[in-house]
Amino acid sequence: MIGLKPLKIWFVCGSQHLYGPETLAQVDAQFTEIANALSTDGNLPLEIVPQPVVKSPAEATELAVRANSDPECGGLILWMHTFSPSKMWIRGLNLLNKPFLHFHTQYARDLPWDTIDMDYMNLNQAAHGDREAGFIHTRMRLGRKVVAGHWTDKEVHARIDAWMRAARAWDDWQDGRFCRFGDNMREVAVTEGDKVAAEMKLGFSVNGYGIMDLVDVMNTLSDGDVADLAASYENEYNVADVLKKGGDRHDSLLNAARQELGLKTFLEAGGFKGFTDTFEDLHGMETLPGMATQRVMAAGYGFAGEGDWKTVALVRALKVMGHGMSGATSFMEDYTYHMAPGHEQVLGSHMLEICPSIADGKPNIEIHPLGIGGKADPVRMVFNAKLGPALNASLMDMGNRFRLLVNEVTSVEHPDLPKLPVARAVWECKPDFKTALSAWILAGGAHHTAYSNDVTTEMLEDFATMAGIELAVINDDTRLDRFKQDLRNNEIYWHLGLGIKA
């Protein structure tokens, strides 16, 4: 994936000098064994690097300073093997600006009932050592994930995996750069937002460029490079005959290839991780980029239409979270409904720009008119989305905070759509159609989303915790009356929690 740097997670064990060198040597040996086992047997997405056992306030502070200054440190896993007085962690935790996971485990899975003695009890004290740590984390109002269970437990590995994926996406946002060609679609509200607040709170920057900046780059590309890219499409996709070399519309395929090369060149030169454009600002372009945008998204860039920079960043974050999985994440829009009683479904699509990473099978490359934007017919990939569990996520600026909204869905089979020449997904909402839609609208959810077959609600919960933003989830457990009350409670919580900051 483009722009994804190497990242490691530090594993940290807490103790204290009180136990003496013999016990501390055992602590270090067992801690190292656990770290190595997690690295080799946990199937985790990021490397785990064990750190020296922390035994004093100075060591806790030094740990935080090192972690903050190491660009490859994506976060910390903390575990108190023995009792580690938590006052000694306060300064270090105050300084720490990396996310952390509190791992509540112990070395031995089973108690040695017949032989257990006070030496054993003295060594294996995580049951109360981690409670001491948990108190200071809560007392300091620190957002973190707590994973409880034995370090060989596959469920534990899965929960750490989710947190690591969120940590990698959070790190990717820090100093991330996103590009807007033009402005928002005119008069649209939900795609607006405070870009200064986003950079302060979320770490990424958004800046605008004229679409002619892209056109200028496209004009520098050689015809040979464009032709070579266009020829490669026939090896990857089912290309309509009219678009193939010698076909009546082959020039349109060449234009799509030029758009793709131009976008990639512009984004790489600027160090961008995603972009947005708008059909209302296409001066100098032959068409609204269709297949070019789809291909760029498939390479790992974030995208959203109509100037929606928040969804651009969110699509990128979900792509990073799902890195190493199937890769199925896309920009999406709730477009229209099938409202047959008991069989309600949502048809999701967009004018052109759905990522082929969610495609079920090889996409078709076609050309059709686009009745908006006033430009030539754009080339696009057409496909049905893969089936199975998925989710939609939306990031909104609520004025005094950002809200991350999630709806778990299931992508389902649907009839053929012979006259709909766009990529599409059809899904059923959890807990049901009426509840999900009502809850989404009550929460102010956008019509643009990041859609993924890979990313889970747990990953997004961890991500929201790292970001310090509100999370609202619509799933099988959602009841509308409780959901509305939760939204009301959240208004008070976030108002008080953020104070006068906006």
pLDDT at 497 over 90: no
pLDDT of residue 500: 58
| Residue 410 dihedral angles phi and psi, to the nearest 5° | -130, 120
* Residue pLDDT, tens place only, 118-175: 999 989 999 999 999 999 999 999 999 999 999 999 999 999 999 999 999 999 999 9
Beta-sheet pairing, 8-14 with 424-429: unpaired
pLDDT of residue 501: 52
Q: What is the 3-state secondary structure (H, E, C) of 121-143?
A: HHHCCHHHHHHHHHHHHHHCCCC
Q: Domain ranges for the chain, please list them.
A: 8-173, 177-498
* Residue pLDDT, tens place only, 316-343: 999 999 999 999 999 999 999 999 999 9
Annotated binding site: 306, 333, 350, 448
More confident position, 217 or 183: 217
pLDDT of residue 502: 45
Token pair, residue 72, equals 């490859």
pLDDT of residue 374: 87
**For residues 386-411, average pLDDT:** 98
DSSP, residue by residue, 88-119? GGHHHHHH--S-EEEEE--S-SS--TTT--HH
- Residue 243: C-alpha distances to residues 43, 250, 376, 467 (Å): 44, 4, 14, 45
Beta-sheet pairing, 388-397 with 448-452: antiparallel
pLDDT of residue 184: 85
Does domain 8-173 fall into CATH 2.60.40.10? no
Q: What percent of the chain clears pLDDT 70, i.e. is strictly above it?
A: 99
* Residue pLDDT, tens place only, 250-296: 999 999 999 999 999 999 999 999 999 999 989 999 999 999 999 99
Query: Model's pTM, two decimal places?
Result: 0.96
Q: By the 8 A CB rule, do 349 and 340 touch?
A: no
Q: What is the 3-state secondary structure (H, E, C) of 442-501?
A: HCCCCCEEEEECCCCHHHHHHHHHHHCCEEEEECCCCCHHHHHHHHHHHHHHHHHHHCCC
Token pair, residue 340, equals 């047959």
d(CA 276, CA 448): 12
* Residue pLDDT, tens place only, 19-51: 899 999 999 999 999 999 999 987 999 999 999
pLDDT of residue 373: 80
pLDDT at 179 over 50: yes
Q: What percent of the chain clears pLDDT 90, i.e. is strictly above it?
A: 94
Buried b / exposed e along 27-46 (16+ C-beta atoms within 10 A): bbebbeebbeebbeebebbb
Instruction: Please list, in sequence order, all residues whose beta carbon lies within 8 angstroms of the beta carbon of residue 6, skipping any fewer than 6 positions away.
Output: 72
Element (H, E) at 74: strand 73-80
Annotated binding site for Mn(2+): 306, 333, 350, 448
Token pair, residue 197, equals 């607040």
What is the residue-averaged pLDDT of the chain?
96
d(CA 188, CA 346): 22
Beta-sheet pairing, 8-14 with 73-80: parallel
**Low-confidence winner among 29-43, 66-80, 295-309 (lowest mean pLDDT):** 29-43
Q: Cα 427–429–431 angle (5° rounding)?
A: 155
**For residues 348-371, average pLDDT:** 96
- DSSP-derived letter for residue 53 is P
* Residue pLDDT, tens place only, 439-487: 999 999 999 999 999 999 999 999 999 999 999 999 999 999 999 999 9
- DSSP-derived letter for residue 352 is S
pLDDT at 71 over 50: yes
